[in-house]
Amino acid sequence: MTEPSAQARRAAFAEAHRATLAKAQEAARSRGYFSAYPETPSGKIYGETAKAEAEAAFQALLGQPFAPGDTLLGEEASPWGQKLGITYPGLPVDALVARAEAAAPAWADAAPEIRAGICLEILHRLNRDSFLMAQAVMHTTGQAFAMAFQAGGPHAQDRGLEAVAYAMDELSKVPGAVRWTKPAGREQLVMDKRFRAVPRGIGLVIGCATFPTWNGYPGIFASLATGNAVIVKPHPAAILPLALTVRTARAVLAEAGFAADVIQLAPDTAAAPIAQDLATHPAIGIVDFTGGPAFGAWLRAHVGGRKALHTEEAGINPVVLHSTADFAGLCRNLAFSLSLYSGQMCTAPQNIFIPAEGIETEAGRKSFEEIGAALARAIDWLLADPARAAGVLGAVQNPATLDRIAAARGLGTIVRDSAAVEMPGFPEARSATPLLVAVEADACEAWGEERFGPIAFLIRCPDAAAALDHAAGSARARGAITALVHATDEGFLARAEAAFARAGVALSENLTGSVFVNQSAAFSDYHVSGANPAGTSCLTDAAFVANRFTIAMARRPAAA
């Protein structure tokens, strides 16, 4: 039996967060602006001492076991320069699954409202600790502090809340007890039916190294809210953000009288990966994966047919230039999108399709070469101040990205070269500014694959229509998550909307101000469509949650 105080806490969590959940459900339907968690890293909101305390807490984690364990592993190194030296207890796959299965039944049997209350309490505490999460995200992914705070903290929490909102919407459709009365001649057939939502099985969430919380929370919270135990397998390079997340979640679960093993961390190393063994274990019913298309393809082939599989893999995001009424704004906005987190966002543009004859602007026609030069200048201006450059670029997560930049230099004409920049306070930081390479439209071997990192191509196309065809065709065939088009012609914009809708790409138009194509806001922007090779699923739509549970029925003749 659950002790009375735990029962009371369950009810209190549900009550405390009921209004937030209702607002989130309404926002997910109306899809206007909504956020439950303040994105500003301000002492006024999070407490004047929060930042300093979080830095101290982060320092205290370094060089220590995160938790006791027989097998301790961990090899995280900050892209800003220091080895973290944190180790995490590892468990064999069978032990992880056995613990999840032991914890699962009570969680499955809990009322959806109780589970939602616990999910929102977890998110609430994660929000409270956003400054610590910012340190953890910054020093694993290489994100600059402001992005690490926002994307790793409040924005990720919003994505988690959004998933709970969708799960509750779908669960609320499952009726409880129903009487079924069928006319049969002069008589009636009367049956009493009871329905229940049954969790699909253990949810496995496989994390990535760039946005471990933002990309991980939707799957974690969608599976938890629909009643599944969850195993979180972080990327070996970014364990800490998800370890902190799981620790918080386990504490809340335990306070509410559930087994902490409803959620478990399953760290591994690059040398001894466990994701395949976990994903193919028969007890795993759901797999959420963010990462490269090679492992994505393996998952699709090996678990995609029977288990619920949700992937975000790779996008080659296009920009199409037709015309603009604000050429300086276009360049400023695009320079920022190319520079932000050194092009390591899955939403960052890579391929800029430009008509060979240039584009019309408010200041007359700009040639292909003029556009490249103006964009290069805008990047230079943005990154001229070292402190600002560090804040925009962040650090490069993976050394392989630097090799990719070196290789890309040979793919065409260098319009702007990539270079390391000085990062104040982080002399060892791995950095790289955007590389711009001009190529011809037929150089598919250059621009036709994802070149992850600060690498962009200026692609000379016969005309704007051909630019759109290349961009949308590539998105359909090879995958894309975002697209950006600049045009003053409504007819061209309409054609772009139709083409990118068909290609399953989220389209932004004429961005010249403070909204960037990279940004995807929970509750309003759908992230990834599932309609092209960039991923199988969308954060978040009904399809993302509906297959995480099934509906069971028991019926019997009604008592006379």
The interface with its own copies within residues 278-307 (CB under 8 A) comprises: 297, 299-301, 303-306
Binding pattern for the stretch 532-551 against its own copies, x by CB under 8 A and - elsewhere:
-x--x-x--xxx--xx--xx
Identify which of residues 124 and 200 has a Cβ nearer to its own copies in the complex.
Answer: 200
Binding pattern for the stretch 120-159 against its own copies, x by CB under 8 A and - elsewhere:
----------------------------------------
How would you class 418 by CB atoms within 10 Å of its CB: exposed for 0-12, middle for 13-18, buried for 19 or more? buried
Instruction: Of 58, 63, 164, 17, give the one whose Cα is nearest residue 540.
Output: 164
Site membership for its own copies, residue 507 (CB under 8 A):
yes
Crossing angle of the two packed helices 130-141 and 212-225, in degrees rounded to 10: 120
Smallest gap, in angstroms, from Cβ of residue 383 to its own copies?
Answer: 23
- 363: three-class secondary structure by DSSP: coil
Count other C-beta atoms under 10 Å from residue 514's C-beta: 9
Contact residue for its own copies among 32, 68, 410, 427 (CB under 8 A): 32
Identify which of residues 52 and 477 has a Cβ nearer to its own copies in the complex.
Answer: 477
Contact residue for its own copies among 45, 146, 198, 402 (CB under 8 A): 198
Identify which of residues 44 and 556 has a Cβ nearer to its own copies in the complex.
Answer: 556
Identify which of residues 397 and 510 has a Cβ nearer to its own copies in the complex.
Answer: 510
| Segment contacting its own copies by CB under 8 A, of 168-176, 215-223, 398-406, 453-461 | 168-176
Residues 307-336 that bind its own copies (CB under 8 A): 309
Residues 355-394 that bind its own copies (CB under 8 A): none
Amino acid, res. 146 = A
Identify which of residues 14 and 480 has a Cβ nearer to its own copies in the complex.
Answer: 480
Contact residue for its own copies among 36, 136, 481, 505 (CB under 8 A): 505
Smallest gap, in angstroms, from Cβ of residue 110 to its own copies?
Answer: 14
Contact residue for its own copies among 173, 365, 377, 388 (CB under 8 A): 173
Site membership for its own copies, residue 508 (CB under 8 A):
yes
Site membership for its own copies, residue 268 (CB under 8 A):
no
Instruction: Of 180, 203, 176, 200, give the one whose Cα is nearest residue 190.
Output: 180
Strand partners, 323: 360
Measure the CA–CA gap between 369 and 57, rounded to whole angstroms. 50
- 555: three-class secondary structure by DSSP: strand
Question: Which CA distances in Å does 133 have to 49, 119, 403, 427?
Answer: 15, 18, 29, 23
Smallest gap, in angstroms, from Cβ of residue 525 to its own copies?
Answer: 6
User: For 395-541, where are the alpha helices, taking DSSP H only?
Assistant: 399-408, 444-447, 464-478, 490-503
Question: Which CA distances in Å does 212 have to 195, 396, 409?
Answer: 36, 15, 30
| Segment contacting its own copies by CB under 8 A, of 56-64, 82-90, 92-100, 178-186 | 178-186
> Can you list the positions of beta strands (E) in 452-548?
455-461, 482-486, 506-509
Please count the helices (runs of H) and the strands (runs of E) in the chain: 21, 19
| CB of 296 closer than 8 Å to CB of 311 | yes
Sign of CA dihedral 410, 414, 420, 423: negative
- 234: three-class secondary structure by DSSP: coil
| CB of 432 closer than 8 Å to CB of 314 | no
Identify which of residues 342 and 532 has a Cβ nearer to its own copies in the complex.
Answer: 532
Site membership for its own copies, residue 514 (CB under 8 A):
yes
Task: Sheet with 284-290: list strands edge to edge.
Answer: 263-265, 230-233, 202-206, 284-290, 308-312
| CB of 220 closer than 8 Å to CB of 540 | no
3-state DSSP helix/strand/coil % of the chain, to nearest 5: 45, 20, 35
Smallest gap, in angstroms, from Cβ of residue 35 to its own copies?
Answer: 8
Site membership for its own copies, residue 515 (CB under 8 A):
yes
Residues 476-495 that bind its own copies (CB under 8 A): 493
| Segment contacting its own copies by CB under 8 A, of 59-67, 87-95, 116-124, 526-534 | 526-534
Site membership for its own copies, residue 179 (CB under 8 A):
yes
| Segment contacting its own copies by CB under 8 A, of 57-65, 270-278, 334-342, 527-535 | 527-535
Size of the site for its own copies (CB under 8 A): 72
Contact residue for its own copies among 500, 522, 534, 539 (CB under 8 A): 500
Measure the CA–CA gap between 408 and 403, rounded to whole angstroms. 9
Site membership for its own copies, residue 83 (CB under 8 A):
no
Smallest gap, in angstroms, from Cβ of residue 189 to its own copies?
Answer: 6
Binding pattern for the stretch 429-448 against its own copies, x by CB under 8 A and - elsewhere:
--------------------
Residues 231-260 that bind its own copies (CB under 8 A): none
Smallest gap, in angstroms, from Cβ of residue 294 to its own copies?
Answer: 14
Smallest gap, in angstroms, from Cβ of residue 477 to its own copies?
Answer: 9
